[in-house]
Amino acid sequence: MSSSVLERSATLLLRALSRLLRALLSLFQTFGGPRNSRPVPPAVQPLLLLPGVELARRIRRRQVKSVDVIEAYIGRIKDVNPIVNALVAERFSAALKEAQQVDKRLAEGNEDEKLLEESVPYLGVPFTVKEAFALEGSPNSSGLVSRKNVISPTDAAVVTNLRKAGAIPLGVTNCSELCMWYESSNNLYGTTRNPYNVDRIVGGSSGGEGCIIAAAGSVMGVGSDIGGSIRMPAFFNGIYGHKPTTGLVPNDGQFPDATGLREKFLCTGPMCRYAEDLIPMLKVMAGPNISKVRLDEEVFMKKVKFYSMENDGGSSFVSKVDNELIRAQRRLIEYLEEQFGIQVQQVQIRKMKYAFPIWSAMMSSRGTDGKEPVSFKDLMGDCGKEMKPLWELVKKMLGLSVHTFPAIGLSILEDLAKINQRNNAKLMSMCQSLEAEFCSLLGDDGIFLYPSHPKIAPRHHHPKFMPFNFAYTAIFNVLGLPVTQCPLGMSKDGLPLGIQLVANHHYDHLCLGVARHLEIAFGGWQNPGAP
């Protein structure tokens, strides 16, 4: 069989699968059974309602003790985690001891407040960590059952940076199996539920992180993103998440460890409730690399050029964008034009409709060293016993597999992608062309407005019927552009709305600065369960 026939066959198969899944979704929506829409109770303790930088400021000034802050967050986690299942392993006792040491240091020392701010900007402030990152003494399975007994002996690089800045880790949070799915559910820890409506997903793969932050169980957290794994959870949970410019924040200490070309697409970044924490967190997390960007440069909204695109142009693989998300984007445009007297330019970037095939081709391509990336099925076997995807699917249907359906499905799609190598070369060339188009459009003063996802937080299991919707975020990983997910209020059903703010390479300060302006205009994070 010729390669062209194989290419067409693979494309037609994916399109047929997409249509079938959408049909099944329609049936699932109609006969999906009873639903429980209760949110978590609202956070009322004042210490839970402050940005990390403000908590640090009060701790430095001896206005509040770190122990009191840590105790408030431990109490909140104990209240909400039985409902949402976000934190999967805690270190509360160790965190309290570290907080006591902070308070003792401040009580006994005569350190200058300004010097403390510069050397330990998050002194005494709690944070949480995605379980895929190494946190000393905590599990590091990434939801893989075969790694259930793996305990990290050291910290990941980014965790080390935060601890050096004085921050105190409370524990690790749930993710999808091997961090490659946009619902945080696995056979080791179970499913994480949305704090605004427990019938809805939290996104993935940093979903537990997005959830615990939104539920006011953490001030801020560490996430990673290879296809939207920071931005989708941030969107579904109504918080801020930033995917930095490629290579800005160290990825060391994660499992799976991205190698080859995939390492270029993986980004570690901050997740938080308040936009005020984005830049200070990124400075700490990036370490010496922060010199590559100009985070201290003030952003003047009137000088920013805004470009808007409401959908991907009609991909065969991706759902249509919800009308409420389109209306939210248009309200944002109206605000920008009325408030700052600027003209937001509507653009139509035609290659965006190929976002999923482009991302898939780039993910399966060889690295700069010519080596093929470690396959997903090898990772599922923890690079030990061979995992055969089709046989694993049969086992799953018989209730005999330890893997999730999405993980098995992804390994099957990965094998299909390898059949289509000739078309992959065309898609990789298209990716380079698209990156050049974005660089030319954005320049040194441009922001691109684009939906964070085509759907407002779906119900549990619905991503299985809409498997390619992550394309709205994934495309920016292979383009290497910095992106901030910014909340834009709430839907009629009380679920978060949001937008992606995209800037050119190393212009992270633009999307982060715009996010801070929009927090004031649109309210930012909303307290779950609050009237």
**C-alpha–C-alpha distance, residues 234 and 280, integer Å:** 18
Residue 229 among the catalytic residues: yes
Tell me the three state secondary structure of residue 248: coil
Q: Which two structure tokens, joined as six digits, stand for 197?
A: 């409506």
Q: Report which of 239, 478, 249, 442 is spatially closest to residue 352, judged by C-alpha positions.
A: 478
Residue 130 among the catalytic residues: yes
Q: Which of 18, 205, 206, 308 is catalytic?
A: 205
Which helix (H) or strand (E) covers residue 420, if one does? none
**C-alpha–C-alpha distance, residues 270 and 485, integer Å:** 11
**C-alpha–C-alpha distance, residues 457 and 491, integer Å:** 10
Place of tokens 């922060």: 290
Phi, psi of 485 (to 5 degrees): -85, 125
CB 515 within 8 A of CB 523: no
Q: What's 68's DSSP letter?
A: H
Residue 141 among the catalytic residues: no
Q: Which of 65, 130, 455, 464 is catalytic?
A: 130
Q: Which of 229, 308, 319, 365 is catalytic?
A: 229
CA 479, 480, 482, 488: dihedral to nearest 10 degrees? 40
Q: Report which of 356, 455, 473 is spatially closest to residue 29, judged by C-alpha positions.
A: 455
Q: Report which of 502, 249, 256, 493 is spatially closest to residue 355, judged by C-alpha positions.
A: 502
CA angle in degrees (0–180, nearest 5) for 410-411-412? 90
| Residue 468 identity | F
Q: Which two structure tokens, joined as six digits, stand for 83?
A: 């409902």
**C-alpha–C-alpha distance, residues 339 and 506, integer Å:** 27
Which helix (H) or strand (E) covers residue 268, if one does? strand 267-272
Paired residues of 309 in beta bridges: none
Which helix (H) or strand (E) covers residue 489, if one does? strand 483-490
Q: Which residue blocks in 49-194 are alpha helix, DSSP H?
A: 52-60, 66-84, 92-108, 113-119, 157-164
Full 3-state SS string of 451-463: CCCCCCCCECCHH
What separation in angstroms does the CA of 215 have from each of 81, 86, 198, 220, 259?
A: 9, 9, 12, 11, 34
Q: Report which of 317, 164, 142 is spatially closest to residue 226, judged by C-alpha positions.
A: 142
CB 278 within 8 A of CB 484: yes
Phi, psi of 13 (to 5 degrees): -65, -45
Active-site residues, by number, are 130, 205, 229
